[in-house]
Amino acid sequence: MSGSNDRSSQLDKGKGRVADKLGTGSPLTQLPAGQGKGKEREQDNAGDAINCNKPEGQIGRLVIRRSGKMQMILGDFTFDVMSGLDRTFLENAVVIDPSQESVFNLGQITQHLIVKPNIASLLNDI
């Protein structure tokens, strides 16, 4: 029972907002008290609870080399990252959750990046 009180006190401090986890956006609504920061629990087929130790929202790493070259590493794959074209119009990133009937504004998009597979690293693995 004390765990639920701890979670609700964290949400009261604003830590349950999606924008606090993902960047400097302002959410239009807040997550319910049961869906906050921390380890998510999943149910396997046997019904046993399994803890996920991966941080929420993190799927890889963005590496900036000394030469200035950027690469993204997702698992065993390496991708080259380059600057994309500038846009002349306003863009915002949002998340829509139809089951909760809520929308979260993640913020304004100010730069675009192009990510392409690094063919040399893929061929070295063969």
* pLDDT tens per residue, range 101-116: 999 999 999 999 899 9
Q: What is the pLDDT of residues 61-109, one digit of tens each?
A: 889 999 999 999 988 889 999 999 988 899 999 999 999 899 999 999 9
Identify the pLDDT of residue 12.
38
Confidence of residue 124 (pLDDT cuts 50, 70, 90): confident
Q: Can you give the pTM of this predicted structure?
A: 0.45
| Spatial separation of the C-alpha atoms in residues 91 and 106, rounded to whole Å | 11
Helix-, strand-, coil-residue percentages of the chain, each rounded to 5: 15, 35, 50
